[in-house]
Amino acid sequence: MNNISVVTEFLLMGFGGTWKFQFLQAGIFIVIYLAALMGNGLIITITSLDPCLHTPMYFFLRNLSLFDLCLISAVIPKTIVNSLTHKRDISFLGCATQVFLVAFSAATELFLLTAMSIDRYAAICHPLHYEVIMNKGTCVQLACLSLFSGSMLSMIHTAGTFSLSYCELNEIQQFFCDIPQLLAISCSEHITAEIVLIFINAVLDLCCFVCIIISYTYIFSTVKKIPSTEGQSKAYSTCIPHLTVVVLFISTAFSAYLKPILGSVSITDLILSAFYVLLPPSLNPIIYGLRNKAMKAGLKKLMTTKLLTKENLLIYFEK
């Protein structure tokens, strides 16, 4: 049973249902995907082109948007195609690629969110030393550490999952290739190692979460000391949405990964997986972009520059 080439493809069972439901599901996913592409694309463009937004906060936000796009693009296009064509198959290599990209994007996002909480802690609790603490070198090092840690974890999980044997069962009770559901259909007797890795990873994620909570505990205690009500509301409006995204992302990811291992698969697991794959890429642009005055100003500046360029071109050609 050591030959893993017995199964050459998997079937993504997803939400199932009639063709009308499949068509509706594809429509919802298309809308969410396009919104995520547009929102994250705007954030990447604005924070890259506007010199005023070349700060640590927007540096991490730009990287977060990149991995948001990677996370949602690893899953949704294939799901949409399968729904519209009434197919469920995905190749063995395609499944392995999807597992790697999802694990890589999700892990790197969590480390970036932790780095962003450290950045907010330095900005609010140590404003006079902020530029020294969060200098360019520190920001690049934190981003590289997030990228390296995410890639290492995803490679270990992908290698561990696909080194197992897959025999007759090839139906994955999920709309994308996810590790818990793959472990459930493996015919290998050595899945314990991968389950242990998942729990170790969960502990690591919990450590990141604790680090974020500690950072925000100090942040909120400092904010309470600000005499100005306007200053307090500005700090809260920046930090509370960030904390909300973190709690939503970690809680749904924990439930999606640990529940199928500890119990049977249900429609709840599909919904939880949809939450941590779809919501962060969709919500982050709204929370960090549309509500942010600096981002609005950057967007207005970008649009004004483009319009002026077009007007100048038209004047030139009319002459």
| HSE of 239, CA atoms in CB hemisphere, 13 A | 26
Here the tokens at position 205 are: 């994620």
CA angle (290, 295, 297) in 5-degree steps: 110
Question: Which range among 13-22, 78-87, 137-146 has the greatest average pLDDT?
Answer: 137-146
Q: Are 209 and 246 in contact (CB under 8 A)?
A: yes
pLDDT of residue 317: 44
- Over range 159-183, report the average pLDDT: 84
Given a cut of 70, whether residue 308 has pLDDT beyond it is no
Residue 314's pLDDT band (cuts 50, 70, 90): very low
Tell me what pLDDT residue 291 has.
Answer: 64
User: What is the spatial distance between Cα 56 and Cα 90, in angstroms, rounded to a whole number?
Assistant: 40
**Planar angle of CA 71, 76, 82, nearest 5 degrees:** 150
Domains of the chain and any CATH numbers: 4-290 (1.20.1070.10)
Structure tokens at 68: 């948001």
Place of tokens 């809308």: 31
Residue 313's pLDDT is: 44
pLDDT band (50, 70, 90) for residue 54? confident
The conformation of residue 291, written as its DSSP 8-state character, comes to T
The tokens for 112 are 């970036």
Confidence (pLDDT) at 296: 72
Q: Examine the pLDDT at 103 and tell me if it is beyond 70.
A: yes
Question: Which pLDDT tens digit goes with each residue over 265-304?
Answer: 567 777 777 877 888 888 888 777 666 677 777 777 777 7
Q: Return mean pLDDT, the chain.
A: 81
Residue-level pLDDT at 247: 82
Q: Is the separation of the CB atoms in 123 and 57 below 8 Å? A: yes
- Which token pair is 29? 């996913």
Give the predicted TM-score (pTM) of the model. 0.85
Residue 10 bridge partners (DSSP): 90
Higher pLDDT, 271 or 148: 148
Q: pLDDT value at position 264? A: 56
Confidence grade of residue 4 (pLDDT, cut at 50, 70, 90): very low
Mean pLDDT of 201-219: 88
Query: What pLDDT band is residue 31 in, cutting at 50, 70 and 90?
Result: very high
pLDDT at 72 (0 to 100): 92
What pLDDT was estimated at residue 295?
A: 73
Q: What is the pLDDT of residues 67-78, one digit of tens each?
A: 999 999 999 999
Residue with tokens 């993504």: 12
- 3-state SS of 29-87 is HHHHHHHHHHHHHHHHHHHHHCHHHCCHHHHHHHHHHHHHHHHHHHHHHHHHHHHHHCC
In the block, residue with structure tokens 């389950």: 195
